[in-house]
Amino acid sequence: MKALLNSIKGELLDPKARSLAEHLEWMELPKLGVNDPFPVAVLGQGPPLILLHGFDSSFLEYRRLAPLLSQRFQLFIPDLFGFGFSPRPRDANYGPEAVLSHLDALLEQIPDKSPCGLIGASMGGSVAVEMARRHPQRINALMLLAPAGLTGKPMPVPPLLDRFGAWFLSRPGVRRGLCRQAFADPDANVGAAEEQIASLHLQCPGWAEALAAFARSGGFSGCGTPLPDQPLHVIWGANDRILREPQKKAAALILKDGVEEFEACGHLPHIDQPDRVAERCLNWFQSSASSIQPSDHIG
């Protein structure tokens, strides 16, 4: 994967994506039993902040938000296990537990052992919630961007249909349509650069097999209850065409307070309105850190 990404990162059309790719590090995580290193973009200075991308995406999803946050935080932006440009061993488990075990190992590698902030977008929001429950001493606050999977029940995709789903998602027209659907104003904001980033990781060996295996696992649906104890804030896009109103209403019943909606914003607030999201993140994590006493996450 490292050689593949090194060979194509110079071809990235988006200059912010090229810049973020230059900050990529390859971490050895021997506890996972995987010989190949894992990609993590590491940049900035300050308290540690972990950013988790969504389903069938990569670290490049944060190309617009990362430079705005790196002025105040040290960012760690991994590719989730089985997604993006991460290694995909043939005999690995690609369900939620494998994703979380990978993040457990990553958290151990962060040199600053002070509490971390956590951002999760779309499916990454559910991953963030699960991760916060597992690490109450290390994760001190969460920001969820259009979180998906907080409600409902896991629905494993049957064999054969899982492979068909992966094949379907690989079709250029389908990916183009999904990319446009994620933005509030696709005619103005979706071009060749966005479509390239949405599909670049499909070149990784094992992409279809890992995606199908994840679908068979049922994914992260139903992760919202009970919510973790850490402070949590949510940003929705008013023009989100990925998360439908019934899904948002069901999640709002769980989240209660701390939900904010951005106008003229789609399913990717951190791409549609990165400056506004960055301002909220800076205020949220700084205020959360100042309001939490060291003993609050011990025991």
Query: What pLDDT digit, counting tens, does each position of 6-59 carry?
Result: 888 889 999 999 999 999 999 999 989 999 999 999 999 999 999 999 999 999
Task: Return the closest-CA partner of residue 277 out of 238, 235, 233, 239.
Answer: 235
Amino acid 299: pLDDT: 33
- Could you tell me if residue 142 is inside a domain? yes
Tell me the C-alpha distance between 51 and 79, whole Å.
10
- Could you tell me if residue 116 is inside a domain? yes
Amino acid 297: pLDDT: 42
Q: For position 161, which CATH number holds?
A: 3.40.50.1820
- Could you tell me if residue 245 is inside a domain? yes
Task: Return the closest-CA partner of residue 220 out of 170, 150, 287.
Answer: 150
Which DSSP letter does residue 40 get?
A: E
- Could you tell me if residue 202 is inside a domain? yes
- Could you tell me if residue 298 is inside a domain? no
Amino acid 288: pLDDT: 84
Using CB atoms within 10 Å of the CB of residue 256, give its burial: 0 to 12 exposed, 13 to 18 middle, 19+ buried: exposed
Residue 116 belongs to what domain range?
2-292
Amino acid 292: pLDDT: 56
- Could you tell me if residue 232 is inside a domain? yes
Q: In this structure, which amino acid lies at residue 244?
A: R
- Spatial contact of 110 and 131, defined as CB atoms under 8 Å apart: no
CA 159 to centroid of chain Cα atoms? 26
Amino acid 7: pLDDT: 86
Amino acid 9: pLDDT: 85
Tell me the C-alpha distance between 164 and 91, whole Å.
20
- Could you tell me if residue 299 is inside a domain? no
Evaluated on CA atoms 146, 147, 153, 159, the torsion sign reads: positive
Tell me the C-alpha distance between 24 and 39, whole Å.
6
Tally the domains of the chain.
Answer: 1
For residue range 176-199, list pLDDT tens digits in order.
999 999 999 999 999 999 999 999
**What contacts 156, CB < 8 A, 6 or more positions away?**
215, 216, 217, 218
Question: Which residues of the chain, if any, have pLDDT below 50?
Answer: 294-299
- Could you tell me if residue 120 is inside a domain? yes
